[in-house]
Amino acid sequence: MNVIDSYKPVMAMMGVQVLEAGVAIFSAAAFSRGLSPEILSVYRQATAALVIAPMAYFSRRRASSTISLGLKEFVLLYIAALLGPTINPIALFEGISLSSSTMSSTMSNLVPGLTFVFTAAIGLEKVNIRSLRSDAKIIGTVISVSGAMSMALLKGPKLLNEGIVATKSSSGSSGETWLLGSLILLGNSSCWAIWTIMQVPISARCPDPLLSTAWMCFFGSIQTTAVTIFLKTDPQAWKPHSNLETYDATMTKGIASASIIVLQARCIARRGPLFSAMFSPLCSVIVTTLAAIFQKEMVYTA
């Protein structure tokens, strides 16, 4: 039983990467139909909050211990919601709409490196250049950053779907749009790395992942709605273009988002932020493969 328990965080993080890959793929399809990235974020966060809230409520009713949240805890949750459920999906969806789902998953490879740099800077991660473990982390950080930057700035020969004409959602986006999308996705990865690190103090002050996730999704839905109202003044922009778009925006991404946050919070509480971040490259492999097959995105050697 202990052996199985030790592998649960690994299986959970693999499931998180599959969910994130699905969100990236379906988001690119939604944007090609004209749905706004900001409005998709509102639908996603509102649905996630509605899904998680009753689960957290009944979970706390069955729990034998009580958790009291004070001002410091709510400030932490509010900031985490701003960096995670609010800024993160808006930047992610905007980056996907300007570049591609493949680029979004590629830039997510920066999350382990950024997490390592940030945790080392604040003292959560000890760096010893004489330690083989520290050297491996430093080399891995350099490789992940170099790989992501080469994907953003360089394009080698086509590897897959070379006979297909490029579209806006593929790697054939214009150079300026492609670079802007890559920079936005870089900011998204930075926010996600900081959010991952913030789960350490949050899990210490609020050990129930369902409760902390419910509050983050609640704060995130309010923040995202406020930002989107400011950016989207046309009421018609809020109207979904089809029933499929409504289902995709609410059920698929909302439930996936809630599941991702809960699973990551549990894994970070047990194994730390760097463990959670190191699985990000798996998403890149899944998205690149599925996007090439189903969305006919062109894949380049660099």
pLDDT, tens digit, for every residue of 47-75?
Answer: 888 888 888 888 888 876 777 888 999 99
- Beta carbons of 30 and 245 less than 8 angstroms apart: yes
pLDDT digit string (tens) for 116-140?
A: 888 888 887 777 777 787 777 778 7
Q: To the nearest whole number, what is the mean pLDDT of the chain?
A: 77
Average pLDDT over residues 22-33: 73
> In this predicted model, which residue has the larger pLDDT, 133 or 76?
76
Q: Which residues of 6-37 are buried (b: 16+ CB within 10 A; e: fewer)?
A: eeebeebbeebbebbbbbbbbbbbbbeeebbb
Residue 221 and residue 42 in contact, taking contact as beta carbons nearer than 8 Å: yes
Q: What is the pLDDT of residue 21?
A: 80
Q: Mean pLDDT, to the nearest integer, of 165-191?
A: 70
Statement: residue 168 has pLDDT above 60:
no
pLDDT at 160 over 60: no
Quick one: pLDDT at residue 194? Answer: 92
Residue 248's pLDDT is 63
Residue 78 predicted with pLDDT over 80: yes
